[in-house]
Amino acid sequence: LIRPGKQTYDAFHAQGISGESFVPLVGQLSKNIKQHNNDAVMTYYEELVKKHGHIFLTSIGPLICLHVSEPDLLADVLSRNNTPNYVKSLKFNEIFVPLIGSHNLLVAQGSEHERARRMINPPGCGCGYSSL
């Protein structure tokens, strides 16, 4: 249980991605709970961005989280041209489909994802990412 998380952390660090210290099993869960209870989650993440930059690692329990807040990288991920390159893992769907259903933008892929995006942001409405 600990080894895969540590290997992932080490692999990201080897690529130059910094982050909070690796803590087996719990990660930064206690910090997240404390910030949540103080209604200061965004402040906490803003401090992490100042400390580590726009790409950094944390862990919540045994899950390793790669945080990206670099605008150009987010635009690349959210662009329609690159949708096929970002496949959601089976584990992701195992967690979220029972909670929110399979016909949802968060879990949908391929043509189902495109359909859900069009419903939220119809063509020609002028309310897409490029108009922000």
Instruction: Please give the pLDDT value at position 43.
Output: 92
Within a domain: residue 21? yes
Contact 1, 25 (CB under 8 A): yes
Instruction: Please give the pLDDT value at position 12.
Output: 93
Q: Mean pLDDT, 10 residues at a time, over the chain (132 residues)?
A: 82 93 85 88 92 92 87 80 76 84 81 79 62 50
Selection from 125, 86, 92, 132 nearest residue 109 by Cα: 86
Residues 60 and 91 in one domain: no
Instruction: Tell me which residue range forms the domain holding 113.
Output: 79-121
Within a domain: residue 103? yes
Residues 45 and 95 in one domain: no
Within a domain: residue 28? yes
Per the structure, the count of domains in the chain is 2
Within a domain: residue 128? no
Token pair listed for 26: 């719990």
Residues 58 and 10 in one domain: yes
Residues 18 and 54 in one domain: yes
Instruction: Please give the pLDDT value at position 84.
Output: 74
Residues 7 and 52 in one domain: yes
Residues 14 and 57 in one domain: yes
Token pair listed for 132: 């922000």
Within a domain: residue 74? no
SS3 of the chain: helix, strand, coil, percent, to 5: 55, 10, 35
Instruction: Please give the pLDDT value at position 19.
Output: 92
Token pair listed for 64: 């390793």
Residues 64 and 104 in one domain: no
Instruction: Please give the pLDDT value at position 127.
Output: 59
Residues 90 and 35 in one domain: no
